[in-house]
Chains A and B, each alone.
Chain A
Amino acid sequence: MDKGVKIIGVTVVLLLIASVIAIFLNLRKSDNTYVVILQDNEVIYSFNLSDEKDRTFRIECPNGGWNDVKIEDGKICIIDADCPDKTCVHTGVLRYQGVPIVCLPHKLVIRFSDKENS
């Protein structure tokens, strides 16, 4: 085996191990109930899920397009969007601190907030 191939192989394996560790750190279930919704990196909604009433609302994107966000039983998810791939819909309910719901075409991020801000 060539030296070059070896170096590349080892680098790839190291990256893989680092990724597995990072995923385990990320995938711990969050007991945090404070959620923020960011659009274009600006907070447009911020709430405590355990106090929120069940409801569905639409977030419009300034450049056109929308996402329907649903809150139910203290859980939040995107139930519909007008983009073709609907990745944010398939992502499902927000569960993990490290895995936000992201809609790339509409620059929308739903994630748990770091601090218990109001």
Chain B
Amino acid sequence: MKAGKLTRLALLTALALIIFIVELHFPNLIPLPGVKLGLANIITVYAVYKYRPKEVALIVTARLILGALFAGNVSTLMYSGAGAILCLAGMLLFKKVIPYRYIWLSSVVGAILHNTGQVIVAILVIGSFAVVSYYPILIISGCIAGAFTGICAQLLLKRDLHGQCISKEVK
């Protein structure tokens, strides 16, 4: 991996971590396990559409582990990890089907998959289906949060592409 790319990936990871930590201080509107705005996923969605799958996986892994350590809540790593794996796999697959104009939709699908992963792990950990009743609430909150982060990422990418076009023209 070239130093330039490594730096850019590291920068994105740092950005995602900052967003993640700032978001920790927001009061939670719906205090149920798993309900979250997930603003750091703006970076994930952005990276999915801009970098190779392996590079996205690197960013997300680093963010998850460091985020859990910074938040002082390593036990949540299982849930967020399972969610992230499912979400990334789904988004990287759907990237081929969903064009740039519908990135927000890709983000919504990612959010739903993320919540699905979390619920599956929660069922396995707790050993009962009591948490399944949270699933519909998670899907709805995930769709709203996913659409929001997706739109943010889409705007970012649009600027990015625009910027690249200009810089090419200047050259």
- By a beta-carbon cutoff of 8 Å, the part of chain A in contact with chain B is 2, 4-5, 8-9, 12, 15-16, 18-20, 22-23, 26, 38, 40-41, 83-85, 87, 90-92, 98-100, 102, 104-105, 107, 109, 111
Contact = CB atoms under 8 A, between A and B. Distances in A.
Interface residues of B, number: 34
Contact of B97 (A2, A18, A38, A98): A2
A107 B102 CA distance: 39
B127 A99 contact: no
Interface of B: 28, 31-33, 71-73, 75-76, 79, 94, 97-99, 102, 105, 108-109, 112, 122, 125-128, 130-131, 133-137, 139-140, 143
A9 B102 CA distance: 10
A18 B99 contact: no
Contacts of B136: 18-20, 22-23, 26
A8 B97 contact: yes
Contacts of B140: 16, 19-20, 23
Given A16-B143, A83-B73, A107-B127, 20 more contacts: A8-B94, A9-B105, A12-B105, A12-B109, A15-B139, A16-B140, A19-B136, A23-B136, A38-B128, A41-B128, A85-B73, A91-B31, A98-B133, A100-B131, A100-B133, A102-B130, A105-B76, A109-B126, A109-B130, A109-B131
24 contacts: A2-B99, A5-B105, A12-B112, A15-B143, A16-B140, A16-B143, A19-B136, A19-B140, A22-B136, A23-B140, A26-B133, A83-B73, A83-B75, A84-B72, A85-B76, A90-B28, A91-B31, A99-B32, A100-B130, A102-B131, A102-B134, A104-B79, A104-B122, A109-B126
Nearest to B35: A87
Contacts of A85: 73, 76
